Chain A
Amino acid sequence: MKVRKRSIALGIYYFLLLLPIYWMLNMSLRTNASILATFSLFPTDFTLENYIKIFTDASWYMGYVNAIIYVGMNTVISLTVALPAAYAFSRYQFVGDKQMFFWLLTNRMAPAAVFALPFFQLYSSVGLLDTHIAVALAHCLFNVPLSVWILEGFMSGVPREIDETAFIDGYSLPRFFITIFIPLIKAGVGVTAFFCFMFSWVELLLARTLTVTNAKPISAIMTRTISATGLDYGLLAAAGILTILPGALVIWFVRNYMAKGFALGRV
């Protein structure tokens, strides 16, 4: 009886969770005229017009391409630099290790708004403004510390006897790391990649500040549309739905590791 009550409550929560997303999906499948004319729980005059417009207009679809490019770059950079660093934190004791770890984490606490303007100036002074790499680098500010944090948790779960045995067997550190160690923590690498993807994908303020046209992400294009036309809800909803899809896809691939990745962080 108690179990039933519990699943009903959970069912209600999930219903409420999905409702706003469903509502946007509903809007995205209707024309703007129809949305404003009649209130309906279902797409009455079903149309794919909004989606077609996004997929055929370069100023729209390039927004997705740009976002995917810098998110991908950020994920690769974050993992590449975080893997050796996390190994160092989990295996070695060195001067300033704790301070370094804490300093890394403080960067996650910096308001993006604090850095928006200096970032703009920094990247324009080195000529990187409006490039994908600029956004990817800026997002490293919070993704690299996070990656080090998660990966360190996974790595500490691997017994050090494995390293020792490999070194005795004559493996060099890089060879051991790439051929033995990384395969051992591939679940952790997957989870970390997921988090990098997620935080880079959802961030807007820095991405918008650092881009003008060439690298502008879809999320920024959407805000522009609100202020400019402000009216085409169907199109806006379709663009919104399309921003959810990549995330939903990624999450499906790491679903089995997700719960684990959260649990292993060290506090």
Chain B
Amino acid sequence: MEKWPDNKAWLLVLPVFVIVAFSAIIPLLTVINYSVQDIFGPGQSVFVGVDWFREMLQDYRLREALWRQFLFSGLVLIIEIPLGVLIALAMPKRGWKASAALVTLALPLLIPWNTIGTIWIIFTRPDIGLLGAVINNLLGIPFDHTASPLDAWITVMLMEVWHWTPLVALLAYSGLRAIPEAYYQAARIDGASAWSTFLYVQLPKMRGVLTIAFLLRFMDSFLIYAEPFVLTGGGPGNSTTFLSLYLVKIALLQFDLGPGAAFSLIYFIIVLLFSFIFYQALQRVGKGETV
């Protein structure tokens, strides 16, 4: 479908541009401005060039947080994408059961992020939490996310998977529902097994929604802040201090504006870069010419 060429369409886009630019460009410029200055107080600052960037890139805590972040996002994608697809495959296809399944599934997505943290604090406490009590008392394994880094990681991962797998499942489900019945019928007539049907019919047809799921989950897990902030506060030690938590620590709590701003920009560029690479790669997977 050829679109109508008309530059007056800009008038329709203008409000969006103004409102997003107000919230995006001005703060971004502020951040860039800060990142090249040393600020002592209101009106007192010195231009320092790329010093802050150099300092931040050499900051070993930032590098640690970055590796932690990659490990976290990697685990998130490895667990949530397949699990979400499995759930979508098992969900009822029509009738009231399908509606009920969808509504229940979406429930964790609508809970404010810090409430999520609160839920899991309560749920995993050894004394009053169901999960904590079951692991500690019933199974007899000492489990405390405030003391052991491993336990903290397990808890944060559990929370993350619990919170966000439904999004992947919803996307995969909508992708599956969009496949016309004839494809399944043809696969049956061709004698395809359930596995071949999944591989050659369902998976290719879900490519679009799974690309969205992959990108959204990558971006949002890479930017995660509120849930671990409430649940572990980044601890014990720095074991769950992800990039956002470390950034807030520097920029807001220690009030180091320059380094904080430089950090922000590095962070932003990493997310952009990876999202772009993933996007390109996923597009190519679907469009390879010969088999």
Contacts and interface: CB of A to CB of B under 8 A. Distances in A.
Give yes or no for direct A-B contact (beta carbon below 8 Å).
yes
A73 B105 CA distance: 27
Contact of A111 (B15, B101, B120, B223): B223
A109 interface: yes
A111 B267 contact: yes
A84 B219 contact: no
* Size bin of chain B's contact surface: 35 or more
A27 to B, nearest CB: 6
A175 interface: no
Contacts of B118: 24, 222, 226, 236-237, 240
A242 to B, nearest CB: 9
From A2, A35, A114, A244, residue with most partner B Cβ within 10 Å: A114
Nearest to B283: A267
B4 A93 contact: yes
Residue among A24, A138, A198, A246 facing the most chain B CB atoms (10 A cut-off): A24
Interface stretch (A44-52, A54-62, A116-124, A179-187): A116-124
B53 to A, nearest CB: 15
Q: What is the predominant secondary structure among interface residues of chain B facing chain A? A: helix
Interface in B83-141: 87, 89-91, 99, 101-115, 118-120, 122-123, 127-131, 133
A243 B20 contact: no
Interface string B250-291: 011000010010001101100110010000000100000000
Interface residues of A, number: 95
B267 A93 contact: no
Interface of A: 2, 6-7, 9-10, 13-14, 16-21, 23-24, 27, 35-36, 39, 41, 77, 80-82, 84-85, 87-89, 91-95, 97, 100, 104, 106-119, 121-122, 137-138, 140-141, 144-145, 148, 160, 198, 201-205, 218-220, 222-223, 226, 233, 236-237, 240, 243-244, 246-248, 250-252, 255-256, 258-263, 265, 267
Interface of B: 1-10, 12-13, 15-17, 19-20, 22-24, 26-28, 30-31, 34, 87, 89-91, 99, 101-115, 118-120, 122-123, 127-131, 133, 162, 166, 170-171, 173-175, 177-178, 194, 208-209, 211-212, 219, 223, 225-226, 230, 243-244, 247-248, 251-252, 257, 260, 264-265, 267-268, 271-272, 275, 283
